[in-house]
Structure 1
């Protein structure tokens, strides 16, 4: 298939581009580079050995999005583009609702006009909210995220469901994934957050490379094995391969809209991940335990049975793999992607 990857220069999008090419698909990228750098495209082309066409514009622009579908032959869409920081979404809710919803509206309208009926949507485990029992299962239907970011994902899932059920032939996979970490094993592409990292793994990596003084662990008194919060960390390459599996199984899904959890099914604590990163680096790293962060849950992880049984997908890479690949990326690119190469 010829696949349009929105947000294809971003962290998860770029790794998915490589997985798509490896699986034999053609790829077109649209990205406004607001949270990524154009230099990633040259690295993708070097790693994949193919030319990656890129359209640089904001996907919320309805006219430009429609024009893109008019000039490119597109069989399917994988939709990553959007804003994604939970904390920032609390401070800037209108930006999150506008960007994350309007980009989907523009895509759906262009798909309708040009008869493109296959879509894989980048959703999130945040849709489950604090009332969902652990492990999270797709059948839980009282989605109530606690942040504007998460609620924008819940809203998008509802929009996609309603539109798909009203559009003959359309099929959508909603991929709810947990905590993506790691990098491509080459060390050429990885996570490059702008400013202070919002997530644990890139913060640890920046401590290890000397960009941050120490890691602050938020909360050491949770009801977990070591008192620190537990999450389901998933290697980004496993996640990328999950998108390819979902794309290739769209036509065989038992329902035209189907949600899938992508995770390992295992909780890993903050300190367990931190110690694994120390093993990858080969030395101890500085950290301190501080107070809990408002809104953080003690522990959650995925039940990924449906993805295994229906998509034939399973996460295979270990926590040590995730840390080793992250360290390879960060040590080779201490300041992240350069502005030009």
Structure 2
């Protein structure tokens, strides 16, 4: 039986692009096993696998082992580990909307923290001690300095329950690594993933009104939504809208592959956070203008009040990713907008075509 990588939440946006990147590599030696509770991914009634994974199988000629389970289901997780020779885990499974987490904190703590603890316990029971964790720049809270590097304090001034779940999970992993030197954990602190696979076959397809900027813009462009709401026009930025470090999802997926390769270095042990971003901030209104240029579509938009949990500006220092992973973002804002438009224009209803 070949070694396997378990990808939790692998049918979601970043998870599915990482699965595709792993399978597209010429040197891929792993079986890919995905567990996903389908809370934010689409599966048609007559199919066993989510549409994103079915398309990836078609694109790559590979088979993905899929389990429609929640990671809080310990018995189901145990069966997965018993059925496959899992070598490492990439852990995406989590609720992820900042604004929603303010409204539903208990649901976020239950899903994100309890789910992570259950996963870590089952990993320990089966002797699997290599984990790539999907973390977030929200662990830094309100920036004390910019750009944000991995030495910036975490856990201070975090403005949402979502951000606190990521911070708490990192602290749990630090404690676990300190207690047992067999553990190797890389916590990838994402900035703002956007874009889609260059083929246009997979992309971001959120349920309901999008919480993230780019799918909101693209759904306005195809007519699913009438206008973009810009949350906050009075931030201390050049144009009053929030500034973020947007990173192409395929660059992000490449970072996960590099992280797995770092596990092969016998010198690497313990807990290591690494930022994944571009190092450059763009405002919401700049992103709207870039999307209009890339798509040729006018995006009606209206500035409304600030959204709970948001901050004014953040962008990354990514020098540690270059040093440890040999990784850097290669795709531009225009690439991000072009690939988003290709996905949305060819799939105006997302995966429900």
Deviations 1:35-90 (A, max 9, x none): 11211121010112101110111110111111210111100000000111111111
Matches within 5 A, 1:158-197: 158-197=171-210
CA contact (8 A) 2:143 2:314 kept: no
Query: Which residue of 291, 315, 320 maps to 2:329?
Result: 315
Query: Which residue of 24, 29, 44 maps to 2:34?
Result: 29
CA contact (8 A) 2:98 2:309 kept: no
Deviations 1:18-50 (A, max 9, x none): 111123132111111111121112101011210
Counterpart of 1:278? 292
- Is 1:222 aligned to 2:235, yes or no? yes
Alpha-carbon offset, residue 131 of structure 1: 4.4
Aligned residue for 1:53, secondary structure, equals strand
What is the distance in 1 between the residues matched to 2:52 and 2:245? 27
Query: Which residue of 221, 224, 233 maps to 1:208?
Result: 221
Query: Which residue of 6, 9, 34 maps to 1:7?
Result: 9
Query: Which residue of 258, 261, 270 maps to 1:256?
Result: 270
Alpha-carbon offset, residue 302 of structure 1: 0.5
Cα distance, 1:235–1:33 mapped onto 2, change above 3 Å: same
Alpha-carbon offset, residue 254 of structure 1: 4.8
Counterpart of 2:252? 239
Alpha-carbon offset, residue 269 of structure 1: 0.9
Counterpart of 1:303? 317
Aligned residue for 2:316, secondary structure, equals coil
Aligned residue for 1:75, secondary structure, equals strand
Stretch moving more, 171-180 or 271-280: 271-280
Query: Which residue of 157, 168, 172 maps to 2:170?
Result: 157
Counterpart of 1:19? 21
Query: Which residue of 321, 328, 339 maps to 1:325?
Result: 339
Alpha-carbon offset, residue 219 of structure 1: 2.6
Alpha-carbon offset, residue 334 of structure 1: 0.7
Cα distance, 1:40–1:295 mapped onto 2, change above 3 Å: closer
Counterpart of 1:72? 84
Stretch moving more, 219-228 or 159-168: 219-228
What is the distance in 2 between the residues matched to 1:151 and 1:223? 24
What is the distance in 2 between the residues matched to 1:254 and 1:75? 16
4+ residue segments displaced more than 4 Å: none
CA contact (8 A) 2:159 2:310 kept: no
Alpha-carbon offset, residue 10 of structure 1: 0.3
Counterpart of 2:46? none
- Is 1:91 aligned to 2:106, yes or no? no
CA contact (8 A) 1:171 1:251 kept: no
Deviations 1:100-123 (A, max 9, x none): 112111211111111111100000
- Is 1:141 aligned to 2:147, yes or no? no
CA contact (8 A) 1:20 1:26 kept: no
Counterpart of 1:62? 74
TM-score for both structures, normalised by structure 1: 0.96
CA contact (8 A) 1:96 1:152 kept: yes
What is the distance in 1 between the residues matched to 2:268 and 2:87? 21
Aligned residue for 1:337, secondary structure, equals helix
What is the distance in 1 between the residues matched to 2:284 and 2:154? 28
Aligned residue for 1:301, secondary structure, equals coil
Alpha-carbon offset, residue 251 of structure 1: 4.1
What is the distance in 2 between the residues matched to 1:305 and 1:251? 21
Cα distance, 1:291–1:41 mapped onto 2, change above 3 Å: same
CA contact (8 A) 1:8 1:29 kept: yes
What residue ranges of structure 1 are gaps of 5+ in the alignment?
none
